[in-house]
Amino acid sequence: MSRKPDATDLLAMARPASLERGSRLSADDMLSMAGTEAPARAALLEAPVSRIRSRLWFLLAPLATAAVVAMVFALVPKLSPAPAVLSPVKTNQELFDLADRIEKLPAQTGAYWREVRIDGNSLSADGYRLVVVGRRETWQPRNSADLVHTQVWRQDSARPATAEDERAWRAAGAPAQVKGYCETSGPCDPVPVADEPTDCRYTVKLEPRGTYPDTTVSEFTMADLAALPTDPAALMKRLRAYHEAWNSRGFTEPFEKFLPTTVNLLGMPLSPAQRAAIIRVLADLPTTRVVGTVTDPLGRTGMSVDFGVAGGSVVISDQPHKEMPVYDRQILDPGTGATLARVSYAARTAFGATKDEVMSYQARGPESGWTGPPASPPKGCKKGD
């Protein structure tokens, strides 16, 4: 019993000559042939075998067209550009970005490193709070053979901490002096209420080795600071050596707890590349956390960072004795990476202060940086020992 050949039989019986011997047929040809698909199929089934081979192409045309279309669609995703692979955002990415920004900044020049430090501390007195402010200036010579020049306002000044405190101070008669507190035994000198510190003293001396005043990381000469590595791996190796030196003197904290204190280097006379290396080392520490953008005690915008340095407490009155627990933040200059201020905030609401309020600070004055020899002492500044 015979049957009419179906499409599979017809494909097996004949192959168009145009598909043999490597011949090519354009997609336009295939599409024009596709329009005659239906009548061609009916005629093909009634035609003698001799004509089937010549007309079989009309049956293959729609199949070939579909294949071409499928091939075109298959090629489109292959020809499209691959989607960009986004690198995962690093923890503390803001610090790495800061290091990238400052790394290529030009290094400053000058014969002296002028450091202006302004200290502020809270003081509780008769129902209101004041901020006691002191100022210290040091000209540290690049050449250790030159003199070190220091100006210190040894007697601080105080001013009301807030507008509410000022109203309370005025209601108390606006006293010109308030009782301070001492960390040593004996009577404390009164603190004048004024806008600027008073009782200026200055010294001029030659340090035997020209040691930089801040020795929290190591005892640095200016040459030691200039030699700090700019590669983070090499810097880490150097920091380990400093930690081992502390250990040899009875220092008991492990290296992981020593590392956060190296943030103090960011306030020292270093090049931008050196500061960038320090920032990268600190940014990789698990204890480091970028808090956000804040205004420092001198009104400057900076990046607040928690480097995991343990907090402490601030004495705000010695009669009766009152200590406020605090936590510390470092505020960095977003343009240079240098330290703007170290700020201690109230860890709880107590003694007239509210939680997260500034309790004390050490700020670098805007005059800090490389400069020429020190100018004459301010008028009225007395020479001290």
Cα–Cα distances in angstroms (integers) from residue 358 to residues 11, 44, 161, 184, 299, in the given order: 88, 95, 10, 24, 13
CB 235 within 8 A of CB 281: yes
Residue 125: per-residue pLDDT: 80
* Highest mean pLDDT out of 116-125, 208-217, 261-270: 261-270
Hey, what are 333's tokens?
Answer: 């200059």
CA–CA separation, 44 vs 36, rounded Å?
12
Is beta strand 369-371 parallel, antiparallel or unpaired with respect to 190-192?
unpaired
Residue 154: per-residue pLDDT: 63
CB-based contacts of 93-98 (< 8 A; 24+ apart in sequence): 94/290, 94/303, 95/279, 95/280, 95/282, 95/283, 95/288, 95/290, 95/303, 95/305, 96/279, 96/280, 96/283, 98/279, 98/303, 98/332, 98/334, 98/337
What's the rounded mean pLDDT across residues 37-44? 44
Residue 69 makes CB contacts below 8 A (sequence gap 6+) with none
Q: How confident is the model at residue 27 (pLDDT cuts 50, 70, 90)?
A: very low
Residue 86: per-residue pLDDT: 56
List the beta bridge partners of residue 137. 116, 151
Residue 320 makes CB contacts below 8 A (sequence gap 6+) with none
Does position 334 have pLDDT exceeding 70, yes or no? yes
pLDDT in tens, 177-222: 888 766 555 566 788 898 877 778 888 877 666 788 899 999 999 9
pLDDT-above-70 percentage for the chain: 72
Residue 84: per-residue pLDDT: 55
CA–CA separation, 2 vs 115, rounded Å?
108
CA–CA separation, 334 vs 294, rounded Å?
11
CA–CA separation, 75 vs 120, rounded Å?
69
Residue 136 makes CB contacts below 8 A (sequence gap 6+) with 116, 117, 119, 150, 151, 152, 153
* Longest alpha-carbon distance in the chain: 129
- The DSSP symbol for 139 reads E
pTM of the model as a whole: 0.73
Residues in the chain, overall count: 385
Helix, strand, coil content of the chain in percent (nearest 5): 30, 30, 40
Number of separate helices (H) and strands (E) present in the chain: 10, 15
List the beta bridge partners of residue 205. 148
CA–CA separation, 228 vs 239, rounded Å?
10
Residue 251: per-residue pLDDT: 83
Residue 72 makes CB contacts below 8 A (sequence gap 6+) with none
What's the rounded mean pLDDT across residues 82-103? 81
Residue from 33, 86, 72 nearest 56 by CA: 33
pLDDT in tens, 224-243: 999 999 999 999 999 999 99
Q: What are phi and psi of 112, to 5 degrees?
A: -130, 145
Q: What are phi and psi of 215, to 5 degrees?
A: -115, 25
What's the rounded mean pLDDT across residues 131-150? 87
